[in-house]
Chains A and B, each alone.
Chain A
Amino acid sequence: MKRWLLILALISAQAALAAPDGKRLYEENCSACHQSEGKGGIGLPLTDEILAQLSDEYIAKTIRNGRPGRIMPSFETLSDAQVGAILKYIRGWSTKPAPVFPKVAKRGDPARGKPLYEKNCQRCHGKDGSGEGSGTGVTLSREREFMVMPAALNNPGFQRSASDAMIADIIRRGRRIGGMPSFRKKLSEGQIGDVVAYLRTLQPPPPVRGSEEWAGKAAYVMESPYGFDETVEALKQAITGANFRIFPARYLEQGLTDEFSVDTRQIGIRFCNFKELYHLLNIDPRLGTVLPCRINVLERNGKVLLVSPNIVELSKLFNNRELSEVAVIMEEIILAVMEEATL
């Protein structure tokens, strides 16, 4: 027993003393989106040009804060040493040193910055600074040579991570990879300060909310007054009426057991609107983890139940405001379909 505890103590001490491995941490936590060596994908490419514009403090804070409402999660559980190790590993790809910006920049006037923002920045970054354009990174059919979406300047994660001086520097220099021009010759230093001051006033839009009745529940569940087969037919008609394409129905146990043992009184009616699917996958390619749209019909103790995932609750897993907005609309449609089938 004592020997075991000693071994455990030694292992713990070794684990605690060992310096974190930046490469391993990057591959475990970042490479799925940013790709190996920061080539970019679902996440921002971490190229020489981009790294040369971002301070160590900004990158560390971005790892910590993430981007609420966007794909980038916050890695609150990583220790300072682990974040530092990732940072050191990322910096190893760059031939340029990390920029260091003054802690306190000269503050401009947001009132003077507003018209300048509207004239020079709004076209790409949006009126409220939410970054205009769906999704992030490169996926599906997006043009790979134009891989960076305009930054969401009103995002609380960005606001907490970026210093005034760093934002001013990006405005001055532009960013070739995303098509952002340099404003060095177009705006004076004072005007750049005014734009930065205005950016600080931008607020994220309020969170979207779905139906109060179903909030916090995993699934929409309705009981049908009809028999199993009648309910399935009524459901198919209601789905078709809502302009979805229906796939061949599948028993929930299909493929998991032989065809003679499958419970045929629990079936999934799968449907899709491909135009909407394409749009949504471009916002967040990970959406496949909850696809396809499906309403299940189950017979339980003489009752026929319709069960469909609560897509507003599921959309919260994706940390993406645009998806959440679509989910609220889809919730209304799915509930209407379920109600129509059980009228």
Chain B
Amino acid sequence: MKRFLILVLALLFSTPLLAGQPIMMVRSKLKAADAMEVLKETVQEYGYSIAHVQRCDGGMAEFDYKSDFYRVLFFGKIDEVRGILKRYPEMAPFLPLKIAVIAENDETVLAAVDPRALAHLYGHNPVLQVQFARWYNDIRSMMEELRHYRKK
């Protein structure tokens, strides 16, 4: 009963973040370099480790393609990644998880695939669906923190 009540309350108070959209997006008032730093801290506060940062802007600049700050943060939990890949090697392309950090003038757009949007490609596997929902909740919460974050 208690669990049911918590679920109902969670549904009542949950704020949709581009509800039902396969690509989750938020805008942060921070400049991109600052947003990346705050995101790194936030990701770790949620219990994830940072795998690496892909510098797409740097790669393009090497080839003389002008670009704003454009980087992708890869992160994951080792036990989760191991457990999933052991049972589902076809999940390899989607691990570690990632969030793109894209500069737009003095603000930043953060974007990530809603993991639940992949469920149909895995035959709505119930184990993966639960995992996708957990990842979605974490990514959504992290992105919301960035949306509301104001520099002190």
- A residues apposed to B, CB below 8 Å: 1, 4, 8, 11-12, 15, 27-29, 31-33, 35-36, 41-42, 73, 75-78, 138-141, 144, 216-219, 221, 250, 252-257, 261, 263, 266, 268, 272, 274-275, 277-278, 281, 285-286, 288-292, 294, 296, 298, 300, 305, 307-310, 313-314, 317-318
The answer for the CA separation of A326 and B112 in the assembled complex, in Å, is 21
**A289 touching B121, Cβ below 8 Å:** no
CB within 8 Å for A289 and B111 given contacts A32-B26, A274-B59:
yes
B33 at the interface (CB under 8 A from A): no
Residues in B lying within 8 Å of A, measured CB to CB? 1, 5, 8-9, 12, 15-23, 25-27, 29, 49-52, 54, 56, 59-60, 62-63, 65-68, 70-72, 74, 76-78, 81-82, 85, 89-96, 98-100, 102, 104-105, 107, 109, 111-113, 117-118, 120-122, 147
Q: Are B117 and A317 in contact (CB under 8 A)?
A: yes
**Whole-angstrom CA separation of A4 from B98 in the bound complex:** 40
Give CA–CA (A294, B17) in the complex, Å: 29
Query: Which among B60, B66, B76, B98 is the interface contact of A256 at CB below 8 angstroms?
Result: B76
Given contacts A28-B15, A309-B94, whether A73 and B121 have CB atoms under 8 Å apart is: no
Q: Give the CA-CA distance A150 to B78 in the complex, in Å.
A: 47
- Please report the C-alpha to C-alpha distance between residue A159 and residue B52 in the assembled complex, in whole angstroms: 44
Which of B20, B59, B60 touches A76 (beta carbons < 8 Å)? B20
Q: A32-B27, A317-B113 are in contact. Are A216 and B121 (CB under 8 A)?
A: yes
B52 touches A255 (CB 8 A): yes
Partner of B16 from the list A28, A286, A294 (CB cut-off 8 Å) is A28
Closest to B128 in A: A218
Closest to B57 in A: A140
Which chain A residues border B19 with CB–CB below 8 Å?
Answer: 29, 75, 77-78
How distant is the Cα of A292 from the Cα of B20 in the complex, in angstroms? Answer: 25
